Amino acid sequence: MVVRPSWVAKSLCLATSGKDFFVKGGDCPLAISKQRKEDVLSQYTDWLKRSQAVLLVEYTGAKMKDLDAIRAKIREAGGEFHIVKNTLAKRAFEAGGMSIPAGLLEKSTAVSFAFSDPAATAKALSEAVKGMEFAKVKGGFMSGQALSATQVKALADIPPLPVTRARLLGVLQAPAGKLVRTIAEPARSLASVFRAYSEKPAAA
């Protein structure tokens, strides 16, 4: 089944449970009311506030199984992946003080929300869309600043946060260990002298 943008536009069925407002065929159990749109906008705003970065994907022509595969990858990295409506996403981004580059919110849009580790989320997204004909990274935002597709790729090349922390800890521990050994060496030497003296046979 191919995801049609018109279905998304017709289906503002985003529930507070976090499900996308996409329903097959555009059938929606709720009327597209002003209040419903405000509810969707509120959900977008909440996701943005919780995110350290947001990464946008165009999915025109993609199949639902492709989007499900991307969603699974993003969740493994601690994020969320949702189809969004451009007009409401634009309002949410602007309310968050983000300046939207031309073309970023055109055609179809799905967003990866990086709640804990932007690099890991970017890497998961890049790997998920690799080889997909109808899904491509458009760009994103981090710390309120716009990112191009190239910058998202560069972000994906940064080691995940746990790896970065481990490397930093290794750098910090190496000099510290050497310093401890240096400080302890005179004490050990002095202790050896005392021990040798105490074990020396008493003079006749």
Distance CA 28, CA 92 (A): 23
Distance CA 148, CA 152 (A): 6
Which one is predicted more confidently, 8 or 140? 140
- Token readout for 193 is 């002298």
Distance CA 201, CA 204 (A): 9
The single-letter code of the amino acid at 2 is V
- The pLDDT, as a whole number, for residue 155 is 94
- The pLDDT, as a whole number, for residue 13 is 44
Q: Which of 18, 139, 162, 141 is nearest to 77 (CA)?
A: 162
* pLDDT mean across residues, the chain: 77
Distance CA 69, CA 59 (A): 13
Distance CA 178, CA 200 (A): 33
Distance CA 62, CA 76 (A): 21
Distance CA 65, CA 149 (A): 23
Q: Which long-range contacts (CB under 8 A, 24 or more apart) does 173-179 make?
A: none
pLDDT band at 5 (very low <50, low <70, confident <90, very high): very low
The answer to whether the CB of 155 falls within 8 A of the CB of 122 is yes
In the predicted structure, residue 117 carries a pLDDT above the cut 70: yes
Cα 11 → chain centroid: 26
Which one is predicted more confidently, 142 or 16? 142
The single-letter code of the amino acid at 34 is K
Distance CA 94, CA 126 (A): 26
Distance CA 139, CA 83 (A): 15
pTM, whole model, 2 decimals? 0.67
Sign (positive or negative) of CA dihedral 20, 13, 33, 10: positive
The answer to whether the CB of 53 falls within 8 A of the CB of 114 is yes
Cα 115 to Cα 81, 122, 190: the distances in Å are: 11, 12, 54
In the predicted structure, residue 156 carries a pLDDT above the cut 80: yes
Distance CA 194, CA 197 (A): 5
